[in-house]
Amino acid sequence: MRWDEDTIARVKEANEITEIVSAYIPLTKSGSNLKALCPFHQEKTPSFMVNPGRQIFHCFGCHVGGDVIRFVMLQDGLPFTDVVEKLAERGGIDLPRTGGEPGTRRDRKDLMYGANKAAAGFYSTLLLKGTEGGEAREYLKMRGIHVDVSRNFLMGYAPSGWRSLMDVLVKEGFDPGLLVECGLAVKGEKGRDPYDRFRNRVVFPIHDLHGRILGFGGRVLGDDLPKYLNTPETPIYRKGDSLFGMDLAAPAIRAEGQVILVEGYLDVISLHQGGIRNVVGVLGTALTTEQAKRIKRLTRDCVLIFDSDEAGIKAALRSGMIFLEEGFRCRIVPLESGEDPDTYLRKRGEAALRDQISNAIPVITFAKEEALKRHPGNNVDGRVQVLDAIIPFLAKIKDRAKLGIYLKEIADELKIEQQDLRAKLGSVKERKQPPLSRGRPQMFLQGWEGLLIHIMVRDPSTIARVKDVADPEDFSSPGVSGLVGKIFSGAALDDIIQNTDDNMKDLLTGWALEDPVEGKEKALDDCLRRVTEKKLDKMIQETENRLTLAAKKRDDAEYRKLTEEWERLQVQRHDRRKSDEKSSGGENGE
C-alpha cells in the first residue's frame, strides 16, 4: 500500500519527532537540539541529536539519520507501510484506501484485534465464573496464582469442545476465515468446518505495548500434547517480536532501569504476583535480536532467570550472547538443579529472589563456569575447550576497559598468557562479519555540488541567493537535480528526504545538524562561481555544436551570428576568470 506525499506529510505532522523519540529514549536539551545516547549503537557520550524545528534526527557516532518515520522503522524493525499505519493510528489520521479494495490491510488487522479481544473475554469469563472452568481454577490455585492476578493478565480457560469459541464468535459477526487467519481456529481437513485451536487449556493473552491482544499461549490441563500451544505466525503476531507481559512490565522496567527475563508464562505471572514487576517472558522460544531491540527501548540492563536444566542453561547462554551484541549489561541468576523462577519464589520468597538478582553473575562469568563444569581446566585440552566456549562472548564486548578486566581474570584462572588470549580473540574477530554499525556516509555528492547542497541544508537562508544564480538542471544527475529542486521550493527537510535513499538521509541530516560550514561566505562564493562557469561552458559547447551544424548546412548568415555569440561568451568567461583571480589575490579558488 502506498500513499501520496500529502498523506505522509499529515502523518508526520501528527507525530512530533521529539514526542516519538522520547517515548523510546530519554532526551536532554542541547542548544536548539535535544541529545541522547544513541539507540542504534553503544556509546558512552551522547552523539544522537534530534532537531524539533526541522523534525529530523542524526547520530554523529554511527551517522544514521532521518525523519520520524525512519526512526520508528529502525527502532521497531518494521517496514515503511507498517510504520505509517502505526503513526497514522497514533495521530488519528485516516489513511485513504487504494486500489478499490473492499477493505484495507489495516481494516483486516483491526478485525483481528477485535476477534482476539472477544476471544479473551470469552475465555476469561469461563475461567472466573463458568462451571467449565473449575479444573482450570484448581490448577491455578495449585500453582499459587491469585484471582486478581489472573484478572490483571486477562487469563482464561478454553473449553474442551471443538467449536465452543467458533460458535460464539461467528454469532457475534466474525467471519470464520478471519478466525483461522488470526490463529483462533484451525482450518478443517477435506473441506470440513474450522474448529477451535485452543481446547481444554489455560490461556494467556499476549499483548503489545498498546494493550492490543496479538495472540495466545495455552497450557493444557491433563496429559495431552503438546503441553504448551501458541498462536501461529499471523499478520498481527510474530512470535520472535513479542514478549509476554511487556505491557504490564514496561512502567516498572523504566522505573528500575532493569528488566528480568524468564522463559515461561507462569514464571512471569508468579514473579509479578510476588512483587517483581519488571519481568517479561520470551514465549517459550529462544530470545531473538528483535526482542532484545524492543527491550532496549526501555533499558540496557537485563538479568536472566531461566530454568536450571540443560535446555535452560543453553537458552540463557544464547540469550546472553544476543544481549551482549546489542550492548546490554547482561547477568544471569544460576538456580539450583530442578528449580525455575516460579518454584524458587514460592519456596523462598521475594526477598531471597531479589537478593539473587542483586548478586547475579555476568554472562561471561556464567559461560566460563559452565565450560569448566564440562571441561577440566587442569590440562591443556580442557583449557582450550574452555577458551573456545567463552571467546565468542568476549568478542561481543565493545568496552575496552571491561574487556581488559575479563581477559586478565580468565588468563590468570586458566594459567595462560594474556597476549595469547588476545591473539585468539583477535583471530575470532577477524572471522566475524562486520557489525551492522555504519561508518560515515560516503561523499557521493562530489565537489562544489555537495558543498553547495551542504551549505543550503545547514543554513536555509542561503537558498534565495543560490536560486538567483543556479537552476536545478545545472547539477550533474537527475537525482541531484530533483533534490535541489525540492530545496529551492522551500520544502521542510523531513519532507525533502522522504523519497531519498538511506545514505542520502544519513548525509543530509548530518549536514543539517553539524556545526556551520567553516568559511561559509567564501565557500558559497566559490560554489556560485563554479555554477556560473559551468553555465558558460555549457553555453559555449552548445554554440560550438550549432556552429558545426551551420557549417555543414553552409548557412553563412547563421554561422556569422553564432561566431559572434561564441566570441562574446569567450570574452565573458575570460573576464570572469580575471576578476576571480584579482579578488582572490591571484588564486583561482579551485
Tell me which long-range contacts 75-84 makes (C-beta under 8 A, separation of at least 24): 75/24, 75/39, 75/293, 75/297, 76/293, 76/294, 77/241, 77/290, 77/293, 81/1, 81/2, 81/105, 84/3, 84/8, 84/11
Read off the pLDDT of residues 546-580 as tens digits, 9 standing for 90 and up.
888 888 888 888 888 888 888 888 887 777 777 66
Report CA Rg, the chain: 32
pLDDT at 219: 93
Distance CA 235, CA 182 (A): 7
Grid look-up 556516509 returns 441
State which of 38-47, 186-195, 230-239, 473-482 shows the largest mean pLDDT.
230-239
CA-nearest of 123, 288, 108 to 205 is 123
Asked whether the CA dihedral 141, 143, 149, 154 is positive or negative, the reply is negative
Nearest to 304 by CA among 279, 285, 273: 279
Predicted confidence band of residue 49 (pLDDT cuts 50, 70, 90): very high
Q: How many CA atoms lie within 13 A of 83 on its CB side?
A: 18
In the CATH scheme, what is the homologous superfamily, with its name and number, of domain 5-91?
Zinc finger, CHC2-typedomain (3.90.580.10)
Question: Which architecture, in CATH terms, is 105-237?
Answer: Alpha-Beta Complex (3.90)
**Is 368-431 the same fold as 5-91?**
no
pLDDT at position 583 over 80? no
Decide: residue 582, CB within 10 A, 0-12 exposed, 13-18 middle, 19+ buried: exposed
What's the pLDDT at 113? 94
DSSP state for residue 298 in the 8-state scheme: T
Cα distance between residue 579 and residue 296, in whole Å: 59
Closest of 163, 175, 161 to residue 112, by C-alpha: 175
The pLDDT assigned to 493 comes to 79
Q: How confident is the model at residue 436 (pLDDT cuts 50, 70, 90)?
A: very low
The distance from CA 546 to its chain's CA centroid, rounded to whole angstroms, is 56
The SS3 of residue 279 is strand
Higher pLDDT, 490 or 98: 490
Q: Name the band, by pLDDT with cuts 50, 70 and 90, for residue 6.
A: confident
Cβ neighbour number for residue 22 with a 10 Å cutoff: 14
The C-alpha cell that represents 349 in the structure block: 520468597
Look at residue 518 and give its three-state secondary structure: coil
Name 247's Cβ contacts closer than 8 Å, sequence gap at least 6.
Answer: 207, 208, 209, 210, 211
Give the pLDDT of residue 428: 66
The class of domain 368-431 in CATH terms is mainly alpha
* Higher pLDDT pick, 280 / 482: 280
The answer for residues whose C-beta is within 8 angstroms of residue 110's C-beta and 6 or more apart is: none
**Is the pLDDT at 317 greater than 80, yes or no?**
yes
Q: How far is CA 224 from CA 131, 143, 165, 499, in A?
A: 21, 19, 20, 54
Query: In the predicted model, what is the mean pLDDT of residues 357-364?
Result: 94
Q: What is the DSSP letter of 163?
A: S
Q: Determine contact, residues 277/321, Cβ cutoff 8 Å.
A: no
Closest CA to 457 of 417, 499, 506, 418: 506
Percent of the chain with pLDDT over 90: 38
Helix (H) or strand (E) holding 496: helix 493-496
For residue 182, which phi and psi values (nearest 5 degrees)? -95, 5
Which grid cell is 369? 563456569
Distances (CA, A) of 174 to 115, 217, 482: 7, 21, 48
Cα–Cα distance, 278 to 156 (Å, whole number): 23
The average pLDDT across 292-312 equals 88
Mean pLDDT confidence for 110-123: 95
Looking at domain 246-359, its CATH architecture is 3-Layer(aba) Sandwich (3.40)
Provide the mean pLDDT of the chain. 85
Tens-place pLDDT, residues 223-270:
777 889 999 999 999 888 899 999 899 888 888 889 999 998 999 999
Neighbours of 416 (CB within 10 A): 16
CA distance 584 to 264: 74
> Under a CB-based contact definition with an 8 Å cutoff, are residues 354 and 326 in contact?
no
Summarised one tens digit per residue, pLDDT across range 327-345 is 899 999 998 888 889 999 9
**CA gap 112, 118 in Å, rounded:** 10
* CB atoms inside a 10 Å sphere around CB 531: 19
pLDDT tens digit string along 415-426? 888 887 888 787
Higher per-residue confidence, 288 vs 478 = 288
Looking at residue 439, its pLDDT comes to 47
> In 138-200, where do the E strands start and end?
156-158, 185-186, 195-196
- Find out whether 70 and 91 touch, Cβ atoms under 8 Å: no
**Where are the chain's structural domains?**
5-91, 105-237, 246-359, 368-431, 447-583
CATH number for the segment(s) 447-583: 1.10.860.10
Within 13 Å, how many C-alpha atoms sit on residue 55's CB side? Answer: 20
- CA 352 – CA 361 distance, rounded (Å): 16
Q: Is 275 left (phi over 0), alpha (psi -120 to 50) or beta?
A: left
What pLDDT is stored for residue 586 in this prediction?
47
Residue range 527-544: average pLDDT?
A: 84
